[in-house]
Structure 1
Amino acid sequence: MYSNPLKTNDIKTIIRNAAGINRPIAVATDEKVITNGSEKDLVDYFAIAKMTVDVSEDFDRTVEEDNVYQIMMGGYKEEYHIIVKDTEKAKIAAWWNRAIDIIPKNGGKGIGVNKVLEYYGIDKSQAMAFGDGNNDIEMFEQVGHPIAMGNASDDLKSISEQICGHVAEDGIYYFCKENNLI
């Protein structure tokens, strides 16, 4: 439907920049998520999604040969400028104060939602999205029914149509059941 990987030169620059501040990174392809090392912030970041850090001997080959759609790493806002220094088409789309997500400058959840709506011929007014972090703001702007999770940031709640339950309490499931969506 749509593919928008990071540029290989930007990936290599980010790897060097991260190494300069002793931060390993994870890369996400369409088939796997692997890392070139491990540290506490990255382990804790992966644990949120009930994932484990997979330090791979295949890391360099993957960066060279596969499409990388996202880079994930532990880090703080003060490190953002260091991480993307000298990149051309990469941006940070962070959602947690101890993690950094890097995606293409011309990418993000808003673009992804638009591509899906366009592909299926669905009008924005008929679309719903759920989110909990500020990285969901651009996605919320692309749908007619933005629903913030109970644990969402105040910024996201302020632009949502409704607020459902907390993500850890199956908020989306119960919202959909209560509103006869499933």
Structure 2
Amino acid sequence: MTGSRKQDYKDVMSETTDSKITAWWNRAVDIIPANGGKGIGINKILNYYGLDKSEAIAFGDGNNDIEMLEAVGWGLAMGNASNELKSVADEVIGNVTDDGIYEFCRANNLIENIN
């Protein structure tokens, strides 16, 4: 992770061709291998287990989650996510600070209620 704004990406990456930027905030980025990323990772897991993307769910809150939400059948953006991520999501759920993932999973019978 490094601090960077979009207008500085070219300078940040000027000495590498084997890496790419994935931004999760307008002032911070992750620099990852050019052939990597969350979407690629999900596709590898789906292929390994012989699953279709329609059988996968992903939750995200940053722009670095865009390719991940696009790689699954049910891409869920947190309520606190960027508008860009929300626009590619299948659904927007509760905020991270309000236990959005837990509440979503409970409401959709993906986990048992714990009391």
Q: Shared topology, TM-score over 0.5?
A: yes
Aligned partner letter, 1:167: V
Which structure 2 segments of 5+ residues have no match? none
Report what 1:73 is aligned to. 2
Match among 78, 83, 95 for residue 166 of structure 1: 95
Aligned length: 111
Report what 2:79 is aligned to. 150
Q: Give me the whole-angstrom Cα distance separating, in 2, the residues matched to 1:177 and 1:112.
A: 26
TM-score by length of 2: 0.89
Post-superposition offset of 1:146: 0.6
Deviation readout 1:65-112 (Å, 9 max, x if unpaired): xxxxxxx11222232111110212111001112212100111111001
Within-5 A mapping of 1:1-182 = 72-182=1-111
Q: Answer whether contact 2:25 2:63 (CA < 8 A) is retained.
A: no
Q: Give me the whole-angstrom Cα distance separating, in 2, the residues matched to 1:134 and 1:107.
A: 15
SS at match of 1:93: strand
Q: Answer whether contact 2:59 2:78 (CA < 8 A) is retained.
A: yes
Percent of matched pairs sharing the same residue:
62
Q: Give me the whole-angstrom Cα distance separating, in 1, the residues matched to 2:26 and 2:83.
A: 15
Q: Give me the whole-angstrom Cα distance separating, in 2, the residues matched to 1:89 and 1:144.
A: 29
Q: Larger Cα Rg: Structure 1 or Structure 2?
A: 1
Which structure 1 segments of 5+ residues have no match? 1-71
SS at match of 1:181: coil
Q: Give me the whole-angstrom Cα distance separating, in 2, the residues matched to 1:147 and 1:96.
A: 18
List 4+ stretches of structure 1 deviating above 3 A.
none
Distance 1:139 1:180, change over 3 A: same
Deviation readout 1:126-179 (Å, 9 max, x if unpaired): 100111122211111111111110011112212222111101221101100111
SS at match of 2:26: coil
Q: Give me the whole-angstrom Cα distance separating, in 1, the residues matched to 2:98 and 2:14.
A: 39
TM-score by length of 1: 0.58
Report what 1:23 is aligned to. none
